[in-house]
Amino acid sequence: MIGARWREHWEELRRYPSALVGMAIIALLVGLSLYTVIAIPYSQALEKWRGGEPWQLHPVNAAPVWLDRLTGGREARTLIASSEDAEVEEVPFEGGRRLRIPLEVDYDYAGFPSELNLFLHAEGHPQRPFARLAWQTPDGREIALGGHRIGREDRISLSQDRALERRLGGLVPHVGLLADPEIEGEPQVLPGRYRLLLDAVVFDDTAGIDAELVLYGRVHGIAGTDHQRRDLSLALMWGTPVALAFGLLAAVGTTVTTLVIAAVGVWYRGWVDAVIQRLTEVNMILPLLPILVMVGTLYSTSIWLMLGVVVVLGIFSAGIKMYRAMLLPIREAPYIEAARAYGAGNLRIVMRYMIPRILPVLIPTFVTLIPTFVFLEASLAVLGLGDPVLPTWGKVLNDAQSQSALYNGYYYWVVSPAVLLMLTGLGFAMLGFALDRIFNPRLRSL
């Protein structure tokens, strides 16, 4: 029954290119949200965003891959050589074995890696194995990297080895080990096959050693990584459903409550209206952001608490004045009088006859309201009052700011969440303005 009217509006909407672009953007964001929520379950996302272990094979502060493609360079990706793929030589001896593990990587990037780590796992050994490490370059040089006793979980940070750095002529190891010795001045990569030879002595007949050599890249994934090696794409993707949900819930929450209260005030008039008006006026001079900062600082920065505060403070917002102005003439409409004459109660008149009358006019306002709440949430996060556990766009910006991302040249860290925020704003605004033209015929030019 209602369908015909909405189909009419839809037909009309299709004639506004801006509406189509806006809807496409919104559809994209919604699609991304759905994909994210299905592909990366909530608990898993929170778990990962906490940082640490899951990210140890990721580089620190790597730029997005597409940035490297764009600049045409051949920056290093992360390379991993694992003992699982290596041909391990075993030589048994009295009371143990000698293991010879070659970890090989083919390196042909133009840039150096950002870091060099060796992860060692040795489980089930009665006595800690001993290993001697040697670095073999494609041009046949061999650089001894010293000996280590291997613990159960061991990480040898070659990049941090000061002695090695000195032996390499002052070059940090992840540069020095891969540099072409023939070239003077600025070090250049010597492409080819590198081998880390791990000569270990184990004191057991069966237990082995797992080794993983990681040459961390300088670019990673579609969004890069942050200072905690976390993949930014996680936060950018999960930020989408969080932002949309926050924006939508806050917009629905404030619009619905405000509308109902305004309608009640208009219908009952007298002291009810007066109280609502005075509350609104007081509320209008209360600054929202400082209150949110206060709540966040003193109580909790949970996004749901913030949502609650935003909605509660939004109830008596300036919107009430606007809705009141729209509802006042409707109160006097003959069909309302007719409804009273056939005995409709106050509640029915407010909810069924007054509010539905202005709903179409409110749809555009409502649509343009959503991004303002998305921005609010992001602003809070930038101020350090973001949700402590949820990955959001605002959090990414906040981290970027605290790590002086722009000063350090990590502009992708700032740009990508900012672009997403702007897209959100743009999408809803374009749709909202088109809807405004359809539902508010006064604006329409023939």
Partner 1 sequence: MATSRADLPANAEASLLKVRDLHTWFELRQWGFLRVGAVHAVDGVNFTLERGEAVAFVGESGCGKSSLARTLLGLHRPTRGSVRFAGREMQSLSPAELKAYRAEVGYVQQDPYGALPPFLDVRRILAEPLIVHGIKDRQERERRIRAVLEEVRLSPAEEYLGKFPHMLSGGQQQRVVIARALILAPSMIIADEPVSMLDASVRVEILNLLRGIQARRELTLVFITHDLSTVRHFAERIFVMYAGQVVESAAVDELLDHPQHPYTQALLAAIADPDAANARRLREVPAGEPPSLIQPPTGCRFHPRCPHAMAGLCDRDDPPDFTPRENHLSACWLHR
Stretch that binds partner 1, among 285-293, 305-313, 327-335, 372-380 (CB under 8 A): 327-335
Among 124, 149, 337, 408, binds partner 1 (CB under 8 A): 337
How far is CA 123 from each of CA 74, 202, 335, rounded to the nearest angstrom? 38, 11, 82
Residue placing its CB nearer to partner 1 in the complex, 118 or 330: 330
Shortest Å, Cβ 330 to partner 1? 10
333 sits near partner 1 (criterion: CB under 8 A): yes
Told to check if 407 binds partner 1 by CB under 8 A, we report: no
Q: Does 126 bind partner 1 (CB under 8 A)?
A: no
Distance CA 149, CA 209 (A): 12
**Binding status of residue 343 toward partner 1 by CB under 8 A:** yes
Rule CB under 8 A: choose which of 134, 279, 291, 339 binds partner 1. 339
Least separation, in Å, of the C-beta of 268 and partner 1? 15
Q: How far is the CB of 445 from partner 1 (least distance, A)?
A: 21
Q: Is 344 in the site for partner 1 (CB under 8 A)?
A: yes
> Judged by CB, which is closer to partner 1: 2, or 38?
2
Cβ atoms of 428 and 370 closer than 8 Å: yes
Identify which of 60, 50, 58 has the alpha carbon closest to the alpha carbon of residue 390. 50
Q: Which residue in the set 87, 334, 407, 441 belongs to the binding site for partner 1 (CB under 8 A)?
A: 334
CB-facing half-sphere around the CA of 303: CA atoms within 13 A: 27
Q: Is 340 in the site for partner 1 (CB under 8 A)?
A: yes
User: Is there binding between residue 347 and partner 1 (CB under 8 A)?
Assistant: no
**Residue 47 touching partner 1 (CB under 8 A):** no
Residues 354-393 within binding reach of partner 1 (CB under 8 A): 356-357, 359-360
Residues in contact with partner 1 by the rule CB under 8 A: 1-2, 4-5, 333-335, 337-345, 348, 352-353, 356-357, 359-360
